[in-house]
Structure 1
Amino acid sequence: MTQPNLLVYLLDKTLEPQLIHSEAARLFNVIQLSAQESWTDYLLESRVDVAIVQADNFSHEQLMALTANKVMSKVDVIFISNGEPNKYIDEAMHHGVTYHLRLPVDITFINELLTDSHQEFVSSKNLSEQVTTSELDQFGLLVGSSSPMRTLYRMIKKASDAEMNVFVAGESGAGKELVARSVHLMSPLSQQPFVAINCGALSPELIESELFGHIKGAFTGANKSRAGVFEQAEGGTLFLDEVTEMPLDQQVKLLRVLESGEFRPVGSEQVKKANVRIISATNRDPQDAIKQELFREDLFFRLAHFPLNVPPLRERGDDIVGLAKHFLAYRNAQDKSNKEISSDALQKISQHSWPGNVRELKHAIERAYILANDVITADLIILDNDTQLRTQRHETVPAGISLEEVERRAILKTLDKNEGNKSATADELGVSIKTLYNKLERYSKNE
């Protein structure tokens, strides 16, 4: 097993032998520097994992050299001093120096720190995997190699070739819109428009206008005529997402269009032809929605000439870990980075039930990628199995906010709750103190 490197610079004659010959130090490749050698140059130019530095004379120039380089985000740095105030050491603590110990130093405590650093090295380096490529098959816009997905691919191919309306059922986050877009891309209509509308996101007053359009003056606020999605998708595919959430009176109007092939914009006497292929989707069981009188059975039969079922992520076997690597590989490529993922993190991912399906997994990887320095460890895979907590979080976090901003708010709020105690904040957030310092430094630069 590769050993991490420990840099030791100019410790006193009592402390250095105790440290160098300790059991903890034997876990490392120990590099000793003399007073004639520059520890900052060595730290910046060489691969060092832990550094213990006598920093009594730590200078402004040394501070500038360290802060101008990203090395501080990758090394556990332990300063030892005689305790005399030094503003540059204080500043260095804000830029990634992990500990500042005053003499006399407890050698037992240093050995504990070294042991912890070695354990972190083993878990994050030797048991991690570099991810630069995706292992999964791709069909249209879908990714996966499991048996349920390969069955779905064959069904999509058949649906694409047939001129029938397609009804896609599946849990939220499973990829229903990607299925719909893949059907469109594989069909003879692929060069024609694909227009999507979420029926559950529209107010009842606007659905008819969104579907069929309106003319100028048709209602208050209709300052100009507007084409509805039936007209926008002319000759192509219209995707009606969450169709079971459409009010029943609007379902009647949609059924009439499907039966007659004609529609009228709101406020207009002109009849127009509906020349679109319809793909519908729902995260409900359509039969349950019909029994609960939320969805018209006759409309379902009109929409479900060719039904497709999207498997939930928990039924996709090795696709779970494969998708995690897939999302990480694409994020590494996008950012030109080489972040790895530990085996513990992959095990945690494989054992989770993923009630939010592929969407939840992707968001978990995105969060972990943002929090990680070099390796995504298990503690950075944030899972939420508490329904009440999830509901509260949705109520307090605005829709559309970026994951990075959510992370920033969480860190600053936790830091404020802990009255500036960074160690307690890091423990509560499940990240290393070094990661926390790096994040805070970036926030201060952006303010």
Structure 2
Amino acid sequence: MSTSPSTQSPSKVGAVIRVTSGNFLEQFDFFLFGFYATYIAAAFFPSGDEFASLMMTFAVFGAGFLMRPLGAIILGAYIDDVGRRKGLIVTLSIMASGTLLIVLVPGYATIGLAAPLLVLLGRLLQGFSAGAELGGVSVYLAEMATPGKKGFYVSWQSASQQISIVVAAALGYGINQWMGASVVADWGWRIPFAVGCIIVPFIFVLRRNLAETEDFKNRTVRPTMKQVFATLLTNWRLVISGMLMVAMTTTAFYLITVYAPTFGKTVLNLSTSDALLVTLLVAVSNFIWLPIGGALSDRIGRKPLLVGMTVLAIATAYPALSYLAAAPTFSRMLVVLLWLSFLYGMYNGAMVVALTEIMPVEVRVAGFSLAYSLATAVFGGFTPAMSTWLIHETGDKAAPGYWMSFAAACALVATLYIYRRAKGAQLSAAV
């Protein structure tokens, strides 16, 4: 029995909302750590040197990304075996456990060294879960997409992250307006984490009602964990190329969202409220450009957008940040980060769906997740730490622009290699 368009459309919209709602929560919890880095540094990593304290906090933030490749392989293979729906419920459970731990851990002054160790454990759980979450959501959206609109559908994986940034930044902005600075530093920063924990049960209900994709149900052969490892090893060049292609996305994203509040407050000496407001507006901008990039890639192809945006990033990232650093103001920070947001949104709208398309179908989640996780571990996750270190070592407040340009150059080379490889494979098949 066929499904009429009138009933098919609402069902697809509902599926998008169910799968991305969980992605929203997982990313909301994950990003809060970066947003409140200065407060977490004071609570769990006290030091007489503000730079050292902040670096320890960002190192723990980055440690979560080191767990992503492991989560990508183990949980990604699990999702490829048991199905998208069951696997995404498991990733949500692990993420919620890590967040709850961070919310409940007393500060260093209360329990000493156990405090930073427990926070580290919470971050490792979050990282392990997130390793397969993005891949699972992206592949689910790709497999349930309407023909010819795959880029548009998959772009909502990243768009849901922007909603989490908006909510997190809005909460932070509100807390800074309603509470005194000392109260926020003491315990107020924990409120957004607690909010994330409170809405977990509602997200569980949504994901429990998530239908399995037809693509997965129609597969008669599902690889074992050993077969997944073997296939990934055989396709190692593709995984590494995918990692480099994702480098642009992860670096730009963490620069303009997670690191932005700290950058605005500690480097540019803007108020916390101004920095959070800029971050909120940037997330709104990301939310707009991502589906546009995905839809445009459906019309003109993935490669033109990927190449065009990386070239622009290489040419403009450092000059744009230099313009901001020369005379830091709220309006300049907003203009510069909105430009970087445009580059990120248009590129990522095409990149995420491209990554689902280049991976072997039998290990689609594991392959996507591993490439994405390696990129966040090597590039994106350490962007706050790398930016802080570059500014400290060079004395140049625009130095993070070098890091973003380098990531964009890696992505450009990888994109050209992947599509040249794909063209060669098509020619060989034709012969």
- Shared fold (TM-score greater than 0.5)? no
- Greater strand proportion: 1
**Rg comparison, structure with higher value:** 1
Q: State the TM-score bracket (shorter-chain normalisation).
A: under 0.3
- Greater helix proportion: 2
Between the two structures, name the one with larger relative contact order (CA 8 Å, sep ≥ 6). Answer: 2
